[in-house]
Structure 1
Amino acid sequence: MSYNIAMVSDFFFPQPGGIESHIYQLSTKLIDRGYKVIIITHAYKGRTGVRYLTNGLKVYHVPFFVIYRESTMPTVFSFFPIFRNIVIREQIQIVHGHASLSCFCQEAILHARTMGLRTVFTDHSLFGFADAASILTNKLLKFTLSDVDHVICVSHTCKENTVLRASLDPLMVSVIPNAVVAENFRPLSSTPRSNDRLVGPQESRPSPTAIGPNDIITIVVISRLFYNKGTDLLIAAIPRILASHPNVRFIIAGSGPKAIDLEQMLERNVLQDRVEMLGSVRHEEVRDVMVRGHIYLHPSLTEAFGTVIVEAASCGLYVVCTQVGGIPEVLPAHMTAFAKPEEDDLVLATGRAIAALRSNKVKTERFHDQVKMMYSWTDVARRTERVYKGISGDISPEEFYGYYPGQGWEGDRVRSFALIDRLKRYYGCGVWAGKLFCLSVVIDFLLYVFLEMWFPRANIDIARSWPKKIREVRQNDDNVHPRKSDRERLAST
């Protein structure tokens, strides 16, 4: 059976990032498998209204006030009228929200359940339990996930974190990792692509041959320059690494509030000639930056998965990363050097990686083929498709949840749309919060009734689906990637 699916999140192109890439790649693969997929996100600068991307992927850029890091202002109800209009126009059956900090995602799941639609939520991040921001976020997440049909997490660590934060039944949470289009992240030793672009001088690119004791080793960092991405740790470690290894250079790509701190550190230590700052780079340029290096340094303080380290390994880089969150699950030990999220240990781990490359102990030329075998967006789409079938009843609950007689099956895992049943679930969210949540659901339901009466469905035109020819999708066919014109459209439509 084919479904009409709406992916909803505040985070999408032209903003670069792992969530944005995940939504795009998953959507295109689902379209290849015969599903209709649209994306609902907020308007970006110069991009409002409806846009079409590769393979007929339709994107709705809804004008909304953005308050922080591309997150929209939470309003709970004001998004409902236009969301309802889009859902009816596109005949949506499943609403799939992404990211805990996306207000569009949280509100869309609430409105979708009020409209009688099946819902899925994908969590891409880890959150704590002690600080005020995490407590508030966790309470809001519990509100949203109390009535969701299924939850997807990108790692097992992320699943444990989400289950604890939202008090979920673990059987209602699946683990489906991110992936990478390996053809887009080839090392230099592979057959060159016709659309390869050079970033920086040709002589700065590493040779596929063995690294000599006096050869320059380039360390690449591509990250948003925020506190949680370990920028402070990076600022402290760079001078010590460069002091210990005179034949080492850094290339840093990314932007954020910590960029000024990084630049000040370079000026204090007079390291401008050994550290190249590229600023923000588009996703299609990431590979061309990575292949200029030998080591990829990832000093993140918290990470649910870390797609960028998979991309780095696919480009043939040895990865030095902090042992936090879901990162230890991502790559095998021979591709990585782990460090504690501390300055001293990060410096030592980087030194070990440099020594391993100089002694030719690490065979990075094999990384690309190994990553290609491990991660496939086609596999991610197929596993996500199984979730859609499970919540829609196209496969039995016993098969979907792994229930067998005698294991204590609970029928409440199949979420009822009845208002009284929904209120029961929300009421258990807390002594005071539960009552507030119930009030919000009742108001949402009354608003829905009002919209149905005053703006009937018969007055909303049904959008025509993009004409497409469904091709056979091979299990390991993960070589489809945006054409050059599509990449340009993603960045500057």
Structure 2
Amino acid sequence: MPYNIADFFFPQPGGVESHIYQVATQLIDRGHKVIIITHAYPGRTGVRYLTNGLKVYHVPFFVIYRETTFPTVFSFFPIFRNIILREQIEIIHGHASLSNFCHEAILHARTMGLRTVFTDHSLFGFADAGSILTNKLLKFTLSDVDHVICVSHTCKENTVLRASLDPLMVSVIPNALVAENFKPLSRPLDAHDSKLVPHAANQVAPQLSLGPDDTITIVVISRLFYNKGTDLLIAAIPRILASHPNVRFIIAGSGPKAIDLEQMLERNVLQDKVELLGPVRHEEVRDVMVRGHIYLHPSLTEAFGTVIVEAASCGLYVVCTRVGGIPEVLPAHMTTFAKPEEDDLVSATGHAIALLRSGQIRTDRFHEQVRMMYSWTDVAERTERVYDGISGALSEEEFYGYTIGDGWSGARGRAGVQSFALIDRLKRYYGCGIWAGKLFCICAIIDYLIFILLEIWYPRANIDVAKDWPKKHGTSSQGGRNEATPGRKRSGRYKDRRREA
């Protein structure tokens, strides 16, 4: 029974939020019980049920910046322990390097003797003060985690270097999309479609070839933050429009850079060529994308970039910066890459416009190709295999493809997972740095003492066990198992093996 925890979840839109939700629902379809914990949002506090019985705990904690909770280290432990025992959770799966809930949950879970997995969705540097502090915190958390998942090979390399990990304990499982929700237009819009797609009455699907006088629409959907390349976009738009008079922009998203974007439009008098939609919900993204021909993604750092997969699925040609894991996402015929520089981005966009006008790019085939490449069902199956590996359901040879040497295996335990013994945990923490290592050991000892106190003050027998969401037997609509019995059998196997250990 996996337990996903992060500061970032619905109703806030974003790639991490969508990833957690999609994988959770797929795991439920495969017979698992999945619980999510996040902080409270306006109007959402306490327990909520989402699709297919997905249970979400919205814990009222103080949010300090970009939906990240204030780090308290220990104050989350009592409610965390209560939820774990109520729901009979066996595996803790944390998401995102900047999620305070994630780091604290992994620390508490190891103290309670639970298996842990961490998924990294982002890239960080090594030189600035913020990155140094974040990397040290990540090293603390991942020193005592059973397995790590990264969304791209570039992300894996970055995480291994930042946290000094053994590459064998890091798997690469990319993001995906629900391709049926990102279909391109294939006919003139009827009255119903016109309501779904704003300002698009009588619009038809983008043409395969465009003449020199046909209008090309460039779509940008992004959070308007510095790391998403908003400054680069602001500098490039006037030059692109000056070189290509028959080009229009549609920009959706919100953030602190929105005011800079609006000022650029007023300064250059481009309001008639650039349409600002503001924030859009995830279910409206496709309706915005199908209005365009090109998707422009000027990000300065990106571990994966799910939005460019969604754009390609909608039949858009993608122009993006060659940063992070973006080059791994789509094949070459779907993209034109640019350096994260103004001149190169303008040049790459011009090249993409020329390709579309010449008819050399068959964007009508993109959707089917993307559908064959990315699937949340595949992501869930691979994630489930990680759970099997760390729980002992798979042998070392089955999990890694070969048997790991006795020295490495003996230090970490069966299938390369971490030992729960406090002395072994302290040894791992102590190696995190001259001063940081001692501080981390103190945190682990205090956490263990709090755990003992909670066991005495609030015994497990006093905590009611929550009933599972009732499930119908049979096959789910998404192709996974939707039976309660297989999930309970699997959970029981995890529990029995942990007790034997």
- TM-score, with length taken from structure 2: 0.92
Aligned partner letter, 2:459: P
Structure-1 residue corresponding to 2:139: 142
Residue 137 (structure 1) shift: 0.0
Structure-2 residue corresponding to 1:486: none
Residues 142, 252 of structure 1: alpha-carbon distance in 2 compared, 3 angstrom cutoff: same
CA contact (8 A) 1:33 1:470 kept: no
Aligned partner letter, 1:159: K
Structure-2 residue corresponding to 1:127: 124
Residue 400 (structure 1) shift: 1.0
Q: Does 1:58 align with 2:55?
A: yes
Structure-1 residue corresponding to 2:290: 291
Q: Does 1:431 align with 2:434?
A: yes
CA contact (8 A) 2:210 2:359 kept: yes
Residue 245 (structure 1) shift: 0.3
SS state at 1:250 partner: strand
Aligned partner letter, 1:284: E
SS state at 2:340 partner: coil
Q: Does 1:336 align with 2:339?
A: no
1:175-230 CA distances to partner (integer Å, 9 max, x unpaired)?
A: 00000000000000179999852222324565445322211100000000000000
Structure-2 residue corresponding to 1:485: none
Residues 202, 104 of structure 1: alpha-carbon distance in 2 compared, 3 angstrom cutoff: same
Residues 406, 119 of structure 1: alpha-carbon distance in 2 compared, 3 angstrom cutoff: closer
Structure-2 residue corresponding to 1:271: 270
CA contact (8 A) 1:205 1:291 kept: no
Structure-1 residue corresponding to 2:211: 212
Residues 281, 242 of structure 1: alpha-carbon distance in 2 compared, 3 angstrom cutoff: same
Structure-2 residue corresponding to 1:353: 352
Query: Please, which runs of 5 or more residues in structure 1 have no aligned partner?
Result: 481-493
Alpha-carbon distance in 2 for matches of 1:445, 1:423: 11
Structure-2 residue corresponding to 1:487: none
Q: Does 1:422 align with 2:422?
A: no
- TM-score, with length taken from structure 1: 0.94
Q: Does 1:444 align with 2:447?
A: yes
Alpha-carbon distance in 2 for matches of 1:212, 1:31: 49
SS state at 1:286 partner: helix
SS state at 1:398 partner: helix
1:246-395 equivalence runs, <5 A? 246-395=245-394
Residues 166, 342 of structure 1: alpha-carbon distance in 2 compared, 3 angstrom cutoff: same
Q: Does 1:116 align with 2:103?
A: no
Over the matched positions of the two proteins, sequence identity in percent amounts to: 80
Q: Does 1:34 align with 2:31?
A: yes
Alpha-carbon distance in 2 for matches of 1:229, 1:34: 37
Residue 448 (structure 1) shift: 0.6
Match of 2:65 among 64, 68, 92: 68
CA contact (8 A) 2:200 2:291 kept: no
Residue 147 (structure 1) shift: 0.3
Which range is displaced more, 73-82 or 185-194?
Answer: 185-194
Query: Please, which runs of 5 or more residues in structure 2 have no aligned partner?
Result: 483-501
Residue 47 (structure 1) shift: 0.7
Alpha-carbon distance in 1 for matches of 2:133, 2:190: 47
Aligned partner letter, 2:383: T
Q: Does 1:154 align with 2:151?
A: yes
CA contact (8 A) 1:34 1:470 kept: no
Alpha-carbon distance in 1 for matches of 2:39, 2:186: 40
Residues 404, 461 of structure 1: alpha-carbon distance in 2 compared, 3 angstrom cutoff: closer
Aligned partner letter, 1:305: F
Match of 2:460 among 454, 457, 472: 457
Alpha-carbon distance in 1 for matches of 2:192, 2:51: 17
Aligned residues: 475
1:392-440 CA distances to partner (integer Å, 9 max, x unpaired)?
A: 0000012212333779753323211111110011000000000000000
SS state at 2:360 partner: coil
SS state at 1:220 partner: strand
Alpha-carbon distance in 2 for matches of 1:282, 1:46: 17
Residues 29, 195 of structure 1: alpha-carbon distance in 2 compared, 3 angstrom cutoff: farther
CA contact (8 A) 2:188 2:205 kept: no
